[in-house]
Amino acid sequence: MSELVVTGLTKVFPTRRGDVTALAGVDLALAPNEFVSVVGASGCGKSTLLSILAGLQAPSGGTAVLDGAPITGPGRDRGVVFQTYTMFPWLTALGNVEFALVDEPGSKADKRVRALEQLELVGLKDFARAYPAELSGGMKQRVALARALVYRPKVLLMDEPFGALDALTRRLMQELLTRVWEEHRLTVLFITHDVEEAVYVSDRVLVMTNRPGRIKAEIVVDLPRPRLPELTETAAFHALESQVLGVIRSEAVAMMNTSEAG
């Protein structure tokens, strides 16, 4: 079980036209085993936030702490899944998952067992010997998920992982992800621009402001689990979706008014 705490996180990018502040005082906390989504308009800093938590960028100010230890770089306590699949084309699905265990202790046989367990969890055990060129987009993303889970991270960080998938595959991946989360009982931070997706998978949805990004609102998703597809047709689901969209719309209107005033 892992707790992730972010306090006063800022990120400033220097440019030829002057400094650009992407994040300004982000505060958030994820309880152990909690599934939290972050939504907001394009350019609000969602991906920058995740990149800092993954240790791929350093913050300009503030702190990000996992289980009491500051995040100062990449680490095996965090698994990361991006929208792009980033698979090695010369390795099979099994080989791609095993590659994540190269620096792990243990025998090759033990690592193979672990990799196969994760492929089975995401429904790809029968495709273990397939190469990336032989897999669909959804299957490649399942391999990416298995690879992120195989070294047993405390936290799973996901940056719009289903954004490139068609609608049906995306829904199936959402259902798979919630099942995997229930199996592993991970702490998950999920970045998405899809409000319906955010409500469907999450315990809470955090809405970011326009740039510079900070957390504007928190919506608790008090819906039963396991989440079933028909849940999206209920009045309770639509009410939550409308609540999130209302906050995002208010930010969009404010941005338009600022542009017109300028």
> Where residue 43 sits, what CATH number does that domain have?
3.40.50.300
CA distance 43 to 40: 8
Average pLDDT score over residue span 10-33: 93
Q: In the chain, helix, strand, coil percent, each to 5?
A: 40, 25, 35
Task: Give the whole-number percent of the chain exceeding pLDDT 90.
Answer: 72
Answer whether residue 90 is part of any domain.
no
Number of structural domains (the chain) is 1
**CA separation for the pair 75, 69 (Å, rounded):** 11
Q: Which two tokens stand for residue 41?
A: 């308009």
Q: How far is CA 11 from CA 87, 114, 211, 262, in A?
A: 29, 37, 11, 24
Please check the confidence at residue 154 and state whether its pLDDT lies above 80. yes
pLDDT tens readout for residues 156-215: 999 999 988 888 888 899 999 998 888 888 899 999 999 999 999 999 999 999 889 999
> Per the domain annotation, does 173 fall within a domain?
no
With b for 16 or more beta-carbon neighbours within 10 A and e for fewer, the 41-61 pattern comes to: beebbbbbbbbbbbbebebbe
The answer, yes or no, to whether residue 254 has pLDDT greater than 80, is no
Q: What is the mean pLDDT of residues 26-38?
A: 95
Residue 176 covered by a domain? no
pLDDT band at 1 (very low <50, low <70, confident <90, very high): low
Task: Tell me if 111 is assigned to some domain.
Answer: no
Residue 201: what pLDDT? 95
Give residue-wise pLDDT tens across range 56-76: 999 999 999 999 999 999 999
Q: What does the alpha-carbon distance between residue 259 and residue 262 come to, in Å, rounded to a whole number? A: 5
Q: Tell me the two tokens of residue 159.
A: 């940056």
Banded model confidence at residue 17, pLDDT cuts 50, 70, 90: confident
The radius of gyration of the chain's CA atoms, rounded to the nearest angstrom, is 19
Q: At what angle do helices 167-184 and 137-149 cross, to 10 degrees?
A: 20
Q: Environment class of residue 161 by beta-carbon count within 10 Å: exposed (0-12), middle (13-18) or buried (19+)?
A: buried
Beta pairing partners, 204? 36, 220
pLDDT, tens digit, 9 for 90 and up, residues 101-143: 988 888 899 999 999 999 999 999 999 999 999 999 999 999 9
Asked if the model's pLDDT at residue 259 lies above 60, the reply is no
| Residue 9: both structure tokens together | 């996180």
- Torsion, Cα 128 134 85 155, to 10 degrees, reads -20
| 49 located within any domain | yes
Distance between CA 50 and CA 189 in Å, rounded?
Answer: 8
Over 80: is that where the pLDDT of 257 sits?
no
Average pLDDT, the chain: 91
Residue 21 belongs to a domain: yes
Residue 113 sits at φ, ψ, to 5 deg, of: -60, -45
Q: Model-level pTM greater than 0.85?
A: yes
Determine the pLDDT at residue 44. Answer: 85
Structural domain span for residue 35? 1-77+155-163+186-262
Structural domain includes residue 261:
yes
Confirm if 154 and 2 have CB atoms less than 8 A apart.
Answer: yes
- Residue 29 domain-assigned? yes
Residue 5 pLDDT: 96
Separation of alpha carbons 57 and 23, rounded Å: 13
Query: Over the stretch 73-106, which tens digit does the pLDDT of each residue have?
Result: 999 999 999 888 789 999 999 999 999 998 888 8
